[in-house]
């Protein structure tokens, strides 16, 4: 464990190799606040999971922390046991994986087949009719099946990293929700019991399916 009294001390320590599994930040730090330290860490290539520990009740600040890239927001009054459990969970989380698939390969997960060469998704043999942006989102979720993907990570795939749109700081969330809604409707039109896209209201979405996703040579479907 490495402890630092302020953000500048942490940034200075990053000049040398530093082994860690998770970054735990207090919101109120001297000089640079914890929330303003997050983009500094990302700009320096630090992609470790970031967790906030704060004495402020999780209201607006929780949403702000998650939007900046943190994966959890822990209220200090929850107690040490809760903090330890959630830090262990955070340490197991990784940055979204975007595996490279050759043009002549397909990503298969249960009834779903993603043909990367033509950016088409097939459900039980039928073309889902996804747009390119919708395909990119489904590909992100399936490639990281079982792992929650934040609104920001999803929107970065829909547009590009750091793109800002919508009204207010969190406006892009509306765009993500509406896009996910359209994606679900397209799958539901082919399968009325489709429920592989799970919602995590304060964070984002995840793809859940019992079958493992594997890459095979492209299939004729």
Q: Which two tokens stand for residue 189?
A: 């039109």
Q: Which two tokens stand for residue 160?
A: 């590009």
Q: Are residues 109 and 82 in the same domain?
A: no
pLDDT (tens, 9 = 90+) of the chain, 221 residues, equals: 678 877 788 878 777 666 777 888 887 777 777 888 887 777 776 767 788 877 766 566 777 777 766 777 777 767 778 778 777 777 666 555 555 655 557 888 888 999 888 889 999 999 999 998 899 999 999 988 888 888 888 888 776 555 555 544 556 788 889 999 999 999 999 999 999 999 887 678 998 856 555 555 544 43
Domain of 180: which CATH number? 1.10.10.10
Q: Are residues 46 and 74 in the same domain?
A: yes
Q: In this structure, is residue 2 part of a structural domain?
A: no
Handedness of CA 102, 126, 196, 189 (dihedral sign): positive
Q: Pick the last residue of a domain from 91, 115, 133.
A: 91
| C-alpha span between 71 and 104 (Å, rounded) | 35
Cβ neighbour number for residue 89 with a 10 Å cutoff: 14
- Range(s) of the domain holding residue 135: 105-217
| C-alpha span between 73 and 58 (Å, rounded) | 7
Q: In this structure, is residue 100 part of a structural domain?
A: no
pTM of the model: 0.55
Q: Count the domains in the chain.
A: 2
Q: Are residues 177 and 83 in the same domain?
A: no
Q: In this structure, is residue 1 part of a structural domain?
A: no
Q: Are residues 75 and 176 in the same domain?
A: no
| C-alpha span between 10 and 68 (Å, rounded) | 18
Q: Pick the last residue of a domain from 37, 69, 91.
A: 91
């Amino acid at each position: 464990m490495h402890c630092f009294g302020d953000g500048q001390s942490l940034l200075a320590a990053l000049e040398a190799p530093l082994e860690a599994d998770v970054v735990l930040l207090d919101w109120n730090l001297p000089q640079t606040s914890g929330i303003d330290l997050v983009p500094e860490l990302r700009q320096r290539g630090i992609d470790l999971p970031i967790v906030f520990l704060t004495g402020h009740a999780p209201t607006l600040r929780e949403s702000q922390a998650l939007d900046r890239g943190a994966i959890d927001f822990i209220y200090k009054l929850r107690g040490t046991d809760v903090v330890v459990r959630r830090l262990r969970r955070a340490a197991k989380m990784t940055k979204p994986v975007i595996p490279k698939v050759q043009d002549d390969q397909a990503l298969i997960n249960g009834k779903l087949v993603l043909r990367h060469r033509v950016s088409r998704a097939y459900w039980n043999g039928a073309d889902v009719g996804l747009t390119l942006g919708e395909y990119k989102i489904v590909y992100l979720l399936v490639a990281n099946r079982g792992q929650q993907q934040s609104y920001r990570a999803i929107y970065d795939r829909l547009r590009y990293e750091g793109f800002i749109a919508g009204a207010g700081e969190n406006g892009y969330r509306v765009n993500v929700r509406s896009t996910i809604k359209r994606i679900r409707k397209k799958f539901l039109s082919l399968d009325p019991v489709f429920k592989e896209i799970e919602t995590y209201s304060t964070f984002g979405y995840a793809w859940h399916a019992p079958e493992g996703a594997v890459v095979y040579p492209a299939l004729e479907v």
